[in-house]
Structure 1
Amino acid sequence: MDVVDTPTPELQTMSLGLYDLVHFALMAAGFALFAYFLYTWAGRQEVGRRYRPAMHAGLCLAAIATVSYLVLFLKWDSGFTLVDGVYEPNAEARFTGSTRYPDWAVTVPLLTVELLAVCSLSGKRARNLRATTVAAAFLMILTGYVGAQLVADGRDRTALVVWGLVSTAFFAYLYVALIGAVRASLPHMGREAGVSLRNATIVLLAAFGVYPLVYAIPVFADVTPAWSATVQVAYSAADVVAKVGFGLLVHKVALLRTAEDVAAGVDTHPEPVWISNVHHSEGVLPEVGHPRHPHEHSAPAHLRGREDHDDGARGGATRAPSDPG
């Protein structure tokens, strides 16, 4: 084993400035996640039933992440003692690193569910892809946790490299699978929804890229108090971008796709759809006793293609507009 002779990243002595910087980052991230939870809760009925699984996934991950940051903040607050002008760590400071991994083990798989819920894949293909990406996301976090926290308290460089490479394999699969799902979905939605979906994917995958970079710091450099503070700030910023920034873009995609479905006559929605004060569709209630076949309308070409794509994935089955799919 190549064990470095330095304290673990979470047990570094912090100066007043570095301690306060991390304190601020944890608090700001927690507030942002809680605000996103409230926003998603208030707007969960704004989108069509077909896309509400994305809102439900966003609500779950926001709630989990908010609780996680509350724990992180409390552990940071109680894990250091001010001695002679510097903050000395105690046993509880260790939880400022290990607490993140249980959070990610649940919220990262939920991020993949959130993205796939607004894509155009359906039927067996959608179920299989959702299952494999959720499993890959969980295993990516679990194997990273082994290298960063379990083996020699994260100070064994060989273990960091080996388990980091294993985690990267799952990381690479997620990139390929999610990009493939988005590319397959783009021809079956309107241009504005497609642009927002592409932007959401870029934000998510770019934020994902921060985590392995931070993970690799102890492999190439001795961990100092400044690096430890940088790790906490980087993880907090990446969590906000990956969960809040991405989630807001997914919400926009769901709204746009809801408006497309209503305008094309393939679904109903009781309220008008507005996005940034722009009216996209009227509110339409289901016709009681007169369900209309989803193809009995003059839909735009890209939406007709999407219906054919969705029906083909379901084995040619059709459904009434009141079925959320």
Structure 2
Amino acid sequence: MHLSDIFIPTAANVGVLSMVVYFFMLVAMYAFLANLIFTLTTHSSIVPEHRITRVMGAIIAAVAGLSYYFIQDYYRHMLADLSALGTEAERQELIRTSYNAIGQYRYMDWAVTTPLLLLKMVSMLRVEPSKAKGAITALLLADFFMVLTGYIGEQQLDAAGHILVGPKLFWGAVSTVGYLVVPFVLYRLWNRFKDQAKPIERKSFKIIALSTVTTWGVYPLGYVLSVLDIDMNWIHLSFSVADIINKVGLSVVVYLAGKTLLDERVPMEATQPAYQIN
């Protein structure tokens, strides 16, 4: 294999915005890989009752990292084709049609990672599944419904790969029903179980549950904007940044809560890396 056979994009042949998007796709992949390693190596650094959340975190990081490997690889190959196009109209056409293909990987990722993210949130309230079967089931079903119907909406394309605006917006509206159920159920769980959680756990729950109506909102907004005549690179960029915040950020919040509880429970020297409690 010769270096000349490998396409490495630069701003000179694909533009600055495309390079920024490619940069964040790779950064996201590296961030999830780093989070996976950190999660596995700090499993014993938090209180035992929250260690199952570290397992969930490892799965989230592994799935997200693998997804972003495929996403950035497809995007790089798209940039190779993009560099050969002469007009801006041709380039935008390729970016739009490739966006629809890349989006599939995101939905497959979310189908696995978002339910686990929600379970990590619920764990901060020390909820026993047997005492909230209905609420947890509703939460997970609403989440999967949201992802699946959103995925179906992304598949509303004509034979040329162009978005069918009406059908896509219809499925987006259907998906929004599931999206609205998620914070509602989380709020109900908060009112029911907040008193049994420690102060640091309540604080952590509020921070990460708030993400469902803030940083999670980037995704439906991007979904709607995709039917407009805009550069799809902006949506790619927003989704990559939001994924890092929602997945790595949540993992850090949960880790700090579990670490704080362990530090309060046992002598500091017993929680140092060389003296991890198993």
User: What range is the shorter-chain TM-score in?
Assistant: 0.7 to 0.9
Instruction: Map Cα deviations across residues 95-146 of structure 1 (whole Å, 9 max, x no partner).
Output: 3222111111111111111111222221423343333222211111110111
Structure 2 distance, partners of 1:61, 1:284, is 24
Question: Is 1:103 matched with 2:109?
Answer: yes
**Which residue does 2:201 correspond to in 1?**
193
Conserved 8 A contact 1:51-1:117? yes
Moved more, 201-210 or 83-92: 83-92
Q: What TM-score, normalized to structure 1?
A: 0.69
Classify the secondary structure of the residue corresponding to 2:151.
helix
| Higher strand content, 1 or 2 | 1
Conserved 8 A contact 2:124-2:204? no
**Which residue does 1:116 correspond to in 2?**
122
The counterpart of 2:183, out of the listed 175, 180, 186, is 175
Structure 1, unmatched stretches of 5+, are: 1-13, 264-268, 275-281, 286-325
Structure 2 distance, partners of 1:47, 1:68, is 28
The aligned runs of 1:119-198 (5 Å cut-off) are 119-152=125-158, 153=161, 155-198=163-206
Aligned residues: 255
Structure 2 distance, partners of 1:103, 1:94, is 15
Question: Aligned pair in 2 of structure 1 residues 270, 49: CA closer, same or farther (>3 Å)?
Answer: farther
Structure 2 distance, partners of 1:35, 1:154, is 37
How big is the shift at 1:215?
0.5
Structure 2 residue identity aligned to 1:116:
V
Structure 1 distance, partners of 2:250, 2:162, is 30
**Which residue does 2:40 correspond to in 1?**
41
How big is the shift at 1:243?
0.2
How big is the shift at 1:284?
8.5
How big is the shift at 1:180?
2.4
**Which residue does 1:232 correspond to in 2?**
236
**Which residue does 1:63 correspond to in 2?**
62
Question: Is 1:254 matched with 2:246?
Answer: no
Structure 1 distance, partners of 2:129, 2:154, is 38
How big is the shift at 1:270?
11
- Percent identity of the aligned residues? 24
Structure 1 distance, partners of 2:212, 2:262, is 22
Question: Is 1:77 matched with 2:85?
Answer: no
Question: Aligned pair in 2 of structure 1 residues 25, 283: CA closer, same or farther (>3 Å)?
Answer: closer
Structure 1 distance, partners of 2:209, 2:271, is 23
**Which residue does 1:7 correspond to in 2?**
none
Conserved 8 A contact 2:33-2:65? yes
Question: Is 1:242 matched with 2:246?
Answer: yes
Structure 2 distance, partners of 1:39, 1:75, is 27
**Which residue does 2:24 correspond to in 1?**
25
Structure 2 distance, partners of 1:117, 1:58, is 12
Structure 2 distance, partners of 1:167, 1:93, is 20
Structure 1 distance, partners of 2:244, 2:16, is 22
How big is the shift at 1:84?
5.2
Question: Aligned pair in 2 of structure 1 residues 188, 206: CA closer, same or farther (>3 Å)?
Answer: same
Structure 2, unmatched stretches of 5+, are: 1-12
Structure 1 distance, partners of 2:119, 2:136, is 6
How big is the shift at 1:238?
0.7
Task: Tell me the C-alpha RMSD between the 2 structures.
Answer: 3.0
Instruction: Map Cα deviations across residues 233-292 of structure 1 (whole Å, 9 max, x no partner).
Output: 0100110011011111112223344556x47xxxxx998457xxxxxxx9989xxxxxxx
Structure with the bigger RCO (C-alpha within 8 Å, sep 6+) is 2
Structure 2 residue identity aligned to 1:71:
F
Conserved 8 A contact 1:47-1:255? yes
Classify the secondary structure of the residue corresponding to 2:46.
coil
